[in-house]
Amino acid sequence: MSYAYKIENGRQLLVDNEGDQTRVSLGQGDGGSQQQSQGNSFETGSWSQAPALFQAGQDLILRVETKDGARFIRVRGDDTQLLNGEPDLGQAKQLNRTESDQPAGMKPMKPMEPMKPMEPMKPMKPMS
């Protein structure tokens, strides 16, 4: 399941979990007209519940609950980073999340089908 969070300047943060990987990407707009920037993937473990996003000053802090406990990912500008410990969220404001059918990162594309061989050229007419 993917989740979207509306953040400042019409941007949104997309988050999803595949296996033990949490993918995070920033994009412009919402819905089908989304322009997505490069996403990052972090080894967090499988989620045990939906993530929560907090605004803490200029940072966005994503809290991901796993069977091994909470993991935190900080987003500052276009930089995302997995934190080693729990940040202070005392003054932080929790942002609303919506479910999204848009993945947070591009999945690898399947290889292209091979092309059919070209027909050989017909012989050229001799020049007169």
Q: Model confidence over 5-30: pLDDT tens digits? A: 888 777 888 999 988 999 998 877 65
Count of alpha carbons within 13 angstroms of residue 27, beta-carbon side:
23
CA distance 125 to 30: 60
Coil, helix or strand at residue 31: helix
Q: Please give the pLDDT value at position 32.
A: 45
Span 64-89, pLDDT tens digits: 999 889 999 999 888 899 999 888 88
- Single-letter amino acid, residue 32: G
Domain-by-domain residue ranges, the chain?
Answer: 2-100
- Nearest Cα neighbor of 88 from 70, 69, 61 is 61
Q: Name the E strands within 1-76.
A: 2-6, 11-18, 21-28, 35-36, 40-43, 52-56, 59-66, 69-76
Please give the structure tokens belonging to residue 45.
Answer: 């473990």
Instruction: Return the minimum-mean-pLDDT range out of 12-21, 22-31, 34-43, 47-56.
Output: 34-43
- Judged against a pLDDT cut of 90, whether residue 36 lies above it is answered with no
Q: Please give the pLDDT value at position 103.
A: 59
Instruction: Kindly state the average pLDDT of the residues 43-60.
Output: 91
CA distance 124 to 115: 26
Please give the structure tokens belonging to residue 109.
Answer: 């594309």
Q: Please give the pLDDT value at position 77.
A: 82
Span 90-105, pLDDT tens digits: 888 888 888 876 655 5
